[in-house]
Structure 1
Amino acid sequence: MKKSIWVGTRGSRLAIAQTEIALAALRRAHPGVRFEVVTISTKGDVDKRPLFTMDEKGIFEKEVNEAVKKGEADFAVHSLKDIPSDLSEELVVACIPKRASPNDVLVNDKGQKLKELAPGSVIGTSSLRRAVQLTKYRPDLNVMPIRGNVETRVKKVISGEYGAVVLAEAGLTRIGMKDVIVERFSIRDFVPAPGQGAIAIVCRRDDKALIRMLGQIEDSRSRAEVLAERALIKKVEGGCRFPLGAVAVTNGDKITLYASVFSADGSRNIKVKKVGKASEPEKLGDKVAGMLVKQGAMEMAEGWRRAVDEWNRKL
């Protein structure tokens, strides 16, 4: 293994924090290796439109992974949920370190939980999945699109532009802002995005030595969970324009997968829970996907296309 390794990542505070988490583990395992971080701007960093208006995949990872493919970086560190299920065949998710909390949380500066917010309060989210779940529980709130990095969204609450925002707990914790969390939502009641809380390390598929090195900080339970979730979204074709909540939880040799899909108006909710073998996570993901499809999940897609158009008119 060479003595200096180049690591590609986005330049956001969260991306850098996630990269440092991965590198801290790698440095402990390989104290003689020097890691050099190179930051790369992505379309998702530059384009400030709400995420669900961008009808394309990989807006936060494509440019970084291209640098890996070209040899400009040896590996890349990503939020797993940013990686499309159809990753380039030249690349592989070589390592999933130990996953952080997958939960969503509520942030506001008045200490109010979701049920305590005043009717008409403006709640910001970049996620259709979060938006429809918020509307289900509090139809009297005004759920609006929000963009910007994690700290920018929090500042928009403090400034009074938004009454509250919903964010991923893992992101806030990783950048040292967990003190702004007012409420932590249950994964059963407020189902997270597939892969939320997990970090993925991507490298070239033909770099066997690097794959072995990265594998030394792999967490097998986290890998099993995200494999189940990603097998599900690959079959159901979830994405920013078709919100799907899914989270897997391992317990010994068993793994439980929870999945949830809403109609665009929130009136219909398909929920599935199924237990499988932790050694066969992708088989479980396929089964749950089939159950969702059989119950009409794909028929909801047209309603979501209309909903996206309506949200676009708000911008």
Structure 2
Amino acid sequence: MQRKTIECDTAVLLVGGKGSRLYPLTKTRPKPLVHFLCKPIVQYQIEQLSQAGIKKLILCLNYFSEQFVEKAEEWEKQYGIKIIFSKEDITLDTAGPIGLAKKYITGDAFLCLNTDIYSQIDFKQLITCYNTINEKEKCNVLVLTKEVEDPTKYGLIKHSNKKVIYFLEKPKTKEEFEGCNTCTINAGIYIISSRILDLFEPKQLSMEKEIFPVVAKSGSMFIYEYNGIWGDIGVPKEYLKTQKIALEAQGNESNVFVGKNVKIGKNVFLENCTVMDNCVLMDECVVKNTILGLNCVVEEKVVLENEETLVVADFTRVSTHFLKEYFSPNLLCQKKKIK
């Protein structure tokens, strides 16, 4: 007998992480509100979810929670979506926040998203896939997967005919990685059945280490293979790599993004970089392999370049003296107000 169509109209967004890898941009705002191209990272997901007919968002808050509260009314009006807040008093990892928020979850299943992910996923197709699987078998978790060249930094998945047979969160040793022997990774987007909400408790609990391996062992975890644009932009190098892919898709091959109200002087050289809104780049400066925060000034003839990706805090004035005094191998973390 054909099973009924699954109701999935709620999405849980895990927005509580500190975003230490994007520091110092996350010194003054949460990682999901760091800009990527023209808007905050999480706003791309909210827009895509609203287009798929999702009616309710649950934001699992912790770090800089008040900034999400300030943005919520604007997003509700812009996207016609209801936003509910669930705030942690202490960090609860990835599953604990769902345990805390489950009283707000309705329907047969819900979407769950890591909010440092940029993709162009069609959530309608993802939900359709979940329904199709459930017509034949019981699917408690559908996980978005991606094939990548270097899978060692991610959770690894082995599957047989799209059924997960092995789930390993970020292997710590060479032996663990070789034992899994796959380039298929957990891409940080899920549909989770309300049937298993009892597994989620409001305590420090890891979805990837403590819940997903159990679900996979039960034979009720499946994959949705995604081949489109995807990137973990919580990592500076991956941020710029994903930006390059996204810009190339728009016909721009330079991998230089310049935000609004940016003033650029004479003979300025830009390569593999982001220059966020309201920056000033003075004559003959160089900005390369760099994520330059909001409202920064790069002084005349300053060379801002490194083999590793540089991350420059909002409201930083970069001078030759500044580089000598505050430069570290891959981070500029001193926040200075522009006078």
Asked if TM exceeds 0.5, the reply is no
TM-score (norm 2): 0.27
Higher share in helix: 1
Q: Pick the structure with greater CA Rg.
A: 2
